[in-house]
A and B are shown apart, each in its own frame.
Chain A
Amino acid sequence: EDQVTQSPEALRLQEGESSSLNCSYTVSGLRGLFWYRQDPGKGPEFLFTLYSAGEEKEKERLKATLTKKESFLHITAPKPEDSATYLCAVWRETSGSRLTFGEGTQLTVNP
C-alpha cells in the first residue's frame, strides 16, 4: 500500500527564516510527486510536479527537490503570505489517474 508521510505536521517561522518541509514516501514504481498549497477553506492550488530523482523546480521563494525516498519543499526567506498548508501527493503508474496524498504541513510565517 502506498504511504506518504509529511513532516513536520506544523511549522512556525519568523519572516525571513528559511526552512524545509519533508514528504517521504513508500511507493512501488513512483512516476510523479506533486506539491500543492492550500489556504484555509479553499481547494488545493497546484505548485510543482517532479518526475525523477534529482529533479528540482522553483517558483518564487519555493524550491522542490526529489530523491528516491523523499521530497523537500524549501522555503527561502518566507513572508506571511506563504502561510498555508502544503500537501504532497504521489502517483504510480499502476494507479491510473489516482493520487495518494499526505496529511500536509501547516506553515505559519509570523511578521
Chain B
Amino acid sequence: SQTIHQWPATLVQPVGSPLSLECTVEGTSNPNLYWYRQAAGRGLQLLFYSVGIGQISSEVPQNLSASRPQDRQFILSSKKLLLSDSGFYLCAWSWGRGGGNTIYFGEGSWLTVV
C-alpha cells in the first residue's frame, strides 16, 4: 500500500530564516505530487504541483519554491520566511495523468513564523 511521509511535523522559525519541508511517497512510482497550504479555519490553497522529476508548476506567486529531486520526493523551500507564511502545510499525491484521481494527503507540517 502507498504511504506518504512529511516532516518536520511542527516548526517555529524566525522571520527571514530559511525553510525546508520534505515529503516522500512510498509504494508507488511516478506519482503526481502537491504542496497545499491551509490557513487557520480555511480551505486548502494549492501552492505547487509536479507531474515528474524536475517538473514544477506554481499556482500562487510568493517567496516559496518547490523542487522534486527524485521521483517520490518533494521539497518546499523558502530563502527568507515572512510572517504571512505561517500555516499548515500539506504534501499530497495522486496517481495517473489527466486528472480526476483521488488526492491523498500527508499528516501536515505546522509552521509558525515569529
Contact = CB atoms under 8 A, between A and B. Distances in A.
Contacts of B43: 4, 87, 101-104
Contacts of B103: 34, 46, 89, 97, 99
Nearest 3 CB-CB pairings of A with B: A43-B105, A103-B43, A101-B44
A102 B49 CA distance: 19
A96 B107 contact: no
B51 A97 contact: yes
Contact of A98 (B46, B97, B108, B110): B46
Of B32, B41, B100, most buried by chain A (CB within 10 Å of CB) is B100
Which of B92, B102, B107 counts the most chain A CB atoms within 10 A? B102
B93 to A, nearest CB: 10
Given A43-B90, A43-B106, A97 B99 contact: yes
Nearest to B104: A46
Contacts of B102: 34, 46, 49
A104 to B, nearest CB: 6
Interface of A: 4, 31-32, 34, 36, 41-46, 49, 51, 87, 89, 91, 93, 95-99, 101-104, 106
A41 B99 contact: no
B100 A31 contact: yes
Contacts, number: 62
A103 B42 contact: yes
14 contacts: A31-B99, A31-B100, A32-B100, A34-B103, A42-B107, A42-B108, A43-B92, A43-B105, A46-B102, A87-B44, A91-B99, A97-B49, A98-B49, A98-B99
B30 interface: no
Nearest to A45: B105
Nearest to A104: B43
B89 to A, nearest CB: 10
Contacts of B51: 97
Contacts of A4: 43
B101 A43 contact: no
Interface string B77-89: 0000000000000
A34 B105 CA distance: 13
